[in-house]
Amino acid sequence: MQFFFEVLIGGLLAGVMYSLVALGFVLIYKASGVFNFAQGGMVFFAALTFVGLQEKTGMPFWVVIALTLAVMVVLGIAIERVVLRPLVNQPQITLFMATIGLAFFIEGLAQII
């Protein structure tokens, strides 16, 4: 019976994560009209940041969550200012390709860090 509840809770948590990512895709698409491929890379970066901070520092869970949130806010602002803002009023394909390139960059950066 314990195994059943472990699998049930694991499945529910995975479903919550998928729904949050999907909600992010929808919000970004509705706000900008562009499908942002870099969002998956940003989720990956956040997960690796969380695990890296927790393993290397040994800080409590909630402190690591707060630090990861702060890192992701700074990364999001930097991406918006450096990459996306200069591409305003450009053709949709330009924004589309920029988000694909940004996804590769973020995933590579996350693996290096």
Q: Name the residue range of residue 97's domain.
A: 35-112
The 10s digit of each residue's pLDDT in 32-63 is 777 888 888 888 899 899 999 999 888 899 99
pTM for this prediction: 0.77
Query: Do residues 3 and 52 both lie within one domain?
Result: no
Query: Do residues 80 and 99 both lie within one domain?
Result: yes
Query: Do residues 48 and 79 both lie within one domain?
Result: yes
Q: How many domains does the chain have?
A: 2
Query: Do residues 58 and 91 both lie within one domain?
Result: yes
Query: Do residues 56 and 99 both lie within one domain?
Result: yes
The 10s digit of each residue's pLDDT in 76-92 is 899 888 888 888 888 88
Query: Do residues 46 and 28 both lie within one domain?
Result: no
Query: Do residues 59 and 78 both lie within one domain?
Result: yes
Helix (H, G, I), strand (E, B) or coil at 25: helix
DSSP-derived letter for residue 37 is: T
- Average pLDDT value for the chain: 88
